[in-house]
Amino acid sequence: MDSDLDLSALRAFRAVVREGSFSAAALLLRVPKSTLSKRVADLETRLGVRLIERSTRHLRITQEGEMLLPRAERLLSEADDIRRALGEAGGMPKGHLRIAVPPVMGHVMMGGIGARFRAAHPEVTLEAHFLDRTPDLLEEGFDGAICFGPLEDSSQIARLIVHGHAVLAAAPDLPGLADLHHPEDLPRLPQVGIAASWAGPWPLVRGNEEVRVPMRADLLLGSFLAVRDAAAAGAGVALLPWLLAQAAFRSGTLVPVLPEWTSPRRGLYFVYPSAHSMTARLRCFIDFLSTEVQAMEPPG
């Protein structure tokens, strides 16, 4: 048995066991399936044992594989600790960050935030994936994720970025806008909304008052970007996240409707797996993100 173990081979073995297939593991590690298969085969050759039984349809970890897995986990964790310690000696942020972002935030602001972050921290590379779900950070290889509350996974660490809200908006020439004096008047006008499982009555608050406005199915679309564009084209009143509506307000393509009424505030968080996973580059990015987003969200 050759005692010189390759960490990339151990990572390949761990990924195959976790994902349940070579194809899924190759996607996770972003390497060709043939490369992944060779790494596992080389590891088995070095150890002189079969770790995974393969058939055309199924994989089964052997007893030797079961023995190796927890030891591989410890070795890879130690290697990651060493890499973090050496790569960020003196607390200088450097290295690669891989994060998940809700599409509405990603399309609207991550291009600008990413560019400004890279200009301020050129030693850190950033990879942002736009997902309409909160990923399994460890299984999918993310350093962290931006997500809206309430949070479901209590095992993760969450840092509040901002309490955001949504506002009513419409094209400035939408007929009937001048006749709106209270949210109860909204059903008189056409509405544009989200065609999703969470679509329903619009909750609106003003101080201690709260109302729920029945939403008419005049035009339902699959993303807030499409809702914004349809509202700007005169399709009706929309309830939009402030971070998305503000640029349209500045350009004049949309105007606020009943501006004293907004949705209840909702937490926007950055989540990461554990305190152990916090690095200088991750802390630096979260601080930068918080400053940028808080500057966009009005106080209240």
Task: Match 């993760």 to its residue by tokens.
Answer: 156
Query: Residue 272's closest CA among 284, 293, 286?
Result: 286
Quote the CA–CA distance of 293 and 242 in Å, as a whole number: 11
**Which pLDDT does position 153 carry in this prediction?**
64
**Which pLDDT does position 294 carry in this prediction?**
84
What CATH number was assigned to the domain covering residues 7-83?
A: 1.10.10.10
What is the domain partition of the chain in residue ranges? 7-83, 93-162+266-296, 166-256
**Which pLDDT does position 77 carry in this prediction?**
83
Radius of gyration over every alpha carbon of the chain, rounded to an integer in angstroms: 25
> What are 91's two structure tokens?
């607390």
* Dihedral angle sign, alpha carbons of residues 157, 162, 165, 166: negative
Which class is domain 166-256? alpha beta
Do the domains 7-83 and 93-162+266-296 sit in the same CATH topology, yes or no? no
**Which pLDDT does position 87 carry in this prediction?**
57
Q: Which residues of the chain have pLDDT under 50?
A: 1, 197-198
Which class is domain 93-162+266-296? alpha beta
pTM: 0.63
